[in-house]
Amino acid sequence: MKDVLVRYGAVKIAIFGSEARGEAGPDSDVDILVEFDKKKKLSLFDLAAAQSELEREIGRKVDLVTKVNKFVQAYIRNDLIQIL
């Protein structure tokens, strides 16, 4: 997972949600919070390609999140598992 996102310019990667809490079931998606290098101007196509590549690699649906509002940040803060 890390290699795929770094190739797209990720500088920070964290998992949150049910996967991070150890509560994921067989149908759970993987929630990934990513901060990309601002110099690397990613398009929506690039983000979709990264998400698709991750889903193939992991074998599960991926929810790739690049920004969260302050309310959501407070909610997921305790779940975050830093990858990069």
Q: Which residues contact 51 (CB under 8 A, 6 or more apart)?
A: 62, 64
Output 74 or 44, whichever has higher pLDDT.
44
Per-residue pLDDT of 13-66, as tens digits, reads 999 999 999 999 999 999 999 999 999 889 999 999 999 999 999 999 999 999
Radius of gyration of the chain (CA): 12
Map residue 30 onto helix, strand or coil.
strand
Q: Which listed CATH number (3.30.1370.60, 3.30.460.10, 2.40.110.10, 3.30.930.10) goes with 2-82?
A: 3.30.460.10
Domain boundaries of the chain, sorted by first residue:
2-82
Give the CA-trace dihedral at 72, 78, 79, 84, to 10 degrees.
100
| pLDDT score of 3 | 97
Above 80 in pLDDT, residue 69? no
| pLDDT score of 67 | 84
Q: What φ, ψ does residue 73 adopt, rounded to 5°?
A: -55, -45
| pLDDT score of 74 | 81
